[in-house]
Chain A
Amino acid sequence: MADASMSIGLSGILAAQTALTVSGENITNSTTPGYARRQVQLSENAPTGPEANTETGVNANTIVRNRDMYLEGQVQSYNAGLSSATTLSQYLNQIQSLLQEPSSTSGGISTQLDAFFNDWQALAADPTDSTTRSTLLDAAQQLAQSLQDLQNGLLSVQSSVDQNLSGSITQVNQLTAELAQNNQLTSNATSNGSAPLSLEDQRDALMGQLAQLVGASNTSPQQSTATVQVAGATLVSGSTSLTLNAPASPGGPVTAGDGNQAGPVSITGGTIGALLQLSQTTIPGYMQQLNAFTQGLISMVNEQHAEGISENGPSTSVTATNSVSNATAMLAEAGLSATPTQGQLTINLVDNATGAQTPVTISVNPSSESLNDLATAINGAGAGNLTAAVSDGALSISAASGYSFDFAANQGTNILASLGINPFFQGTNASNIQLAAALVNNPAGIAAGQSADSGDGSNATAISNLETAASAAFGGNSLAGYWQTTVSGIGSDAENATETQTTAQNMVDTVTTQEQAISGVSLDEEAANILQYQQVYTDCAHYMATVGQLSQTLLSYISGVA
């Protein structure tokens, strides 16, 4: 009887000690990420004795983690959304700050475009003024430089995205390896019959980080080992993990697996999903818009400029600045960056002595004519006064002695701009646009008029009208309008990303609060528990002392009778 009572008292003391240990663990880990509040589950010890009526005290062997795995999955998935939105918003804000729009004082492309085209208008009003001409060339060079700077800025954001991407993939591989190891340790522990609570905490922390990086989820939340799947690929299963490989070239796909067995995985979630979206779609899309704008600017200005006459009067010879890769290939397939259109090319042949003009008309058909054919056609129509030749893939046209020539207004084909004859800009896109070499430090070379008259600014007027004129190249939008649409589009993308980020943050805050309500450590609660178990401990000790005293009393009575 006394033995049984002593062991009941002892079980209470041990249970109180365990409970105090758990409280200590909870208090010290109250701010540890991934830690879930522990709770002692007390149970009555099974009764013993032949009739199972001997009480044996309390049992505190079971300690549980308070974690709702369904909520944990939600926390992870909202965190994945948040880190994806944060990454997008961060880079899109970087990109939009490159634009320096919309204020007219911040020096963006739109302001420079306005200045450039208004300089043409000023030139039209005063074609002989050399200051106006130089100002125009400066504005053109600045515009070309800004377009190149913007392109380089986008490239540098792209390369920062790609670096971030390969860094994040390395991190994922470390995490999946750790998780696989954690699974191994967990199954070892469970097969030994112990509950690996701290390994489960670590698993949840690792899962949390993985979710933020790739948007992965644990597909076996009810088991103590984690299984991780991303876009159909199993990254972690049991003690094995699959390696992710960064794209072989920028904009390429992420692959999973080793060597030849690596297959593409289309990750859309988490930081990596956002980085891939930026690298594969968003930034290339912006660059494509920038290039379309630049190409439109180059071809529109060049087409019109070719039809004008410089201050030096009609030409005696011109050489194309764009060469074809093959002079015998059809013009449409000869490697010109802007394919020529079919139509009539009209050259005005001027007899210098009389000033008489003769139009020489050549039909251009890019699908049935090579550059050599075009040269032959010019030679035929020019009747000896106009000769054309092709050298190194570049067409040159020259007039016989006593003659000069210019190109008529309103050509029916863009062959002049396509070949780069009398160009204003040279280059083909935003990475290489610049002022035509022939115009550098040569303001007189600007073709302001369509006649040789000094006061003729008609060609400059025509060019100045290009900025806001509707163009088929931009689907009916104008050059300025296309740029405005592009900038608004980028702004709208950045705004959406920021809004998504705010929403995601709110969702994360909400589910994290819910999870904390279950898994978080409350210091007040622990203090109450400590008080309570201290009391149990003290009372058990008193109880054992009392039982001990009872035995003593009985013994003294027995010895007294004897």
Chain B
Amino acid sequence: MRITEQMRGALLVQGLDQATTTLNTLNQELSTGMKVNQPSDDPVATGAIMRTNTYIADLNEDVSVINAAQSVSQAASASMDNSTSILSDVQTAATAAANGTNSAAQLQALGTQVNQDLESLVQDANTQFEGSYVFSGTKTDTAPIAVTRDAQGNIQNITYQGSDTQVTYPVSQGRSSPASVTAQAAYMNVLNAVKQLRDDLNNTQGLSSQAQDTALQNDLGAITTAQSSFTTQTAEVGSYQSLLASLSTQMQTSLTNAQATLSSYQDVNTAQISVQLQSAQTAYQALVSSGASQMQQPDLFSYLT
């Protein structure tokens, strides 16, 4: 085959083109740290990267929704714990009152104490977290428990004005969890039972002392029943909390895994790329120097005189 100077030149240019393209690609990968910088670098990995990015963004949002739900749940739980200890005070008072040996003045004194407990319980039921009522279902802008008061300022009538629908938090795609319970379920029985006890202690209906004793004994039973249903509701909130906590852990694990997946799709192995870059540079230098000396080689004309 005839080889002309043009062919040697063209071959050198081709080689240089290829070498600089390789160098350019490796440099870009090294400087961005990513092996997929545009969709055509790897169309299949591009789809996977986008899917994983969406998944990661979703998980991050899920985690922040779970955090918000956990805060509400903690606020609800703290109020209910407080109420539980108030209720046990009330039960002690009810037990003392029901033994039938108290004077009217002693009962009155117990009544005053129970009235204070009632006020505290109403306060607990109307707990707010960041401006929203935690026990009024979806009517978060409305205090769940409304009371009317008599001339002395004592609570007379108790009504629930929240919603029966619980607020649910979208903790992940297609999955929602409540964080709290409604005051209708948790507090109405308790408040009514405590109010009845207070009224009977104060004997507002003017019962005979025997009838009052009977009423107080009934109240003790009602308080115990209400207490047990309250405990059930407290346990309900506790179960939401543990569900949210386990979801949070699960999301964190998924997030770590998803980030590892993403990294496997898009991140370069820096060590490997550095080595490749080095050998590409060596190849380029070899090509340049051998090319230059080849182009400068004397031809037959150099020897013609």
- A residues near B (Cβ < 8 Å) are 30-31, 92-93, 96-97, 99, 101-104, 110-111, 113-115, 118, 121-122, 124-126, 128, 449, 451, 453-458, 460-461, 464-465, 467-468, 480-481, 483-485, 487-495, 498, 509, 512-513, 516-518, 520-525, 527-528, 530-531
Contact = CB atoms under 8 A, between A and B. Distances in A.
Interface stretch (B34-42, B184-192, B216-224, B279-287): B34-42
B163 interface: yes
Interface centre among B39, B56, B174 (most CB of A within 10 A): B39
Contacts of A125: 64-65, 68-69, 169-170
A121 B170 contact: yes
Given A30-B5, A30-B6, A517-B1, 6 more contacts: A101-B38, A102-B50, A455-B141, A480-B51, A513-B7, A523-B5
B58 A454 contact: no
- Per CB-CB distance, the 6 closest pairs between chain A and chain B, nearest first, are A491-B39, A455-B140, A527-B300, A494-B40, A453-B138, A520-B4
B252 interface: no
B266 interface: yes
A454 B47 contact: no
A118 B138 contact: no
A91 B131 CA distance: 55
Contacts of B47: 102, 484-485, 487-488
A483 B14 CA distance: 38
B54 A128 contact: no
Nearest to A509: B14
A113 B50 CA distance: 11
A305 to B, nearest CB: 16
B244 to A, nearest CB: 12
B170 A124 contact: yes
A232 B196 CA distance: 102
Contacts of B304: 527, 530-531
B170 A468 contact: no
Interface centre among B46, B53, B68 (most CB of A within 10 A): B46
A461 B45 CA distance: 30
B50 A455 contact: no
B39 A96 contact: yes
Given A461-B176, A485-B47, A522 B2 contact: yes
A365 to B, nearest CB: 32
A29 B6 CA distance: 11
B267 to A, nearest CB: 11
Contacts of B46: 101-102, 484, 487-488, 491
A456 B166 CA distance: 9
Interface centre among B44, B50, B61, B170 (most CB of A within 10 A): B50
B303 to A, nearest CB: 8
Nearest to A489: B43
Interface string B127-156: 000011000111111100000000000000
Interface centre among B57, B141, B165 (most CB of A within 10 A): B57
20 contacts: A97-B38, A101-B38, A102-B45, A102-B50, A104-B56, A113-B54, A121-B61, A124-B170, A125-B65, A453-B163, A453-B165, A457-B167, A465-B170, A480-B54, A484-B50, A488-B43, A490-B39, A494-B38, A494-B39, A517-B7
Contacts of A111: 53, 57
B2 A454 contact: no
Nearest to B172: A121
Interface residues of B, number: 61
Contacts of B5: 30, 522-523
Contact of A99 (B39, B42, B170): B39
A512 B9 CA distance: 13
A489 B46 CA distance: 10
B50 A110 contact: yes
Contacts of B300: 523-524, 527-528, 531
B10 interface: yes
B49 interface: yes
Nearest to A534: B304
A31 B42 CA distance: 40
A457 B47 CA distance: 31
B68 A102 contact: no
Contact of B10 (A122, A484, A493, A513): A513
A522 B43 contact: no
A512 B10 CA distance: 10
Contacts of A31: 6
B3 interface: yes
Contacts of A518: 2
B173 interface: yes
A455 B53 contact: no
Nearest to A114: B57
Interface centre among A124, A451, A488, A525 (most CB of B within 10 A): A488
Contacts of B136: 455
A465 B131 contact: no
B301 A455 contact: no
A101 B141 contact: no
Nearest to A524: B300
A491 B38 contact: yes
A312 B91 CA distance: 45
Nearest to B21: A502
Given A102-B53, A523-B5, A455 B39 contact: no
Contacts of A455: 132, 136-141, 163, 167
Contact of B7 (A101, A110, A520, A531): A520
Contacts of A118: 57-58, 60-61
Contacts of A495: 39-43
A480 B52 CA distance: 11
A477 B141 CA distance: 39
Contacts of B44: 488
A122 B176 CA distance: 13
Interface in B1-33: 1-7, 10-11, 14
B58 A488 contact: no
B40 A114 contact: no
Contacts of A523: 4-5, 299-301
A523 B42 CA distance: 46
Interface centre among B42, B60, B131 (most CB of A within 10 A): B42
B173 to A, nearest CB: 6
B57 A104 contact: yes
Contacts of B139: 453-455
A374 B1 CA distance: 85
Interface centre among A92, A96, A126, A518 (most CB of B within 10 A): A126
Nearest to B13: A509
B33 to A, nearest CB: 10
Interface centre among A101, A102, A122, A525 (most CB of B within 10 A): A102
Contacts of B301: 523, 527
A525 B64 contact: no
Nearest to A492: B43
Interface string B277-305: 00000000000000000000001110010
Given A124-B170, A464-B170, A509-B14, A492 B138 contact: no
Given A103-B49, A125-B170, A491 B43 contact: yes
B10 to A, nearest CB: 7
Interface centre among B37, B58, B69, B138 (most CB of A within 10 A): B138
Given A104-B57, A487-B47, A491-B40, A522 B14 contact: no
Contact of B61 (A103, A122, A126, A525): A122
A493 B173 CA distance: 33
A487 B45 CA distance: 11
A516 B176 CA distance: 74
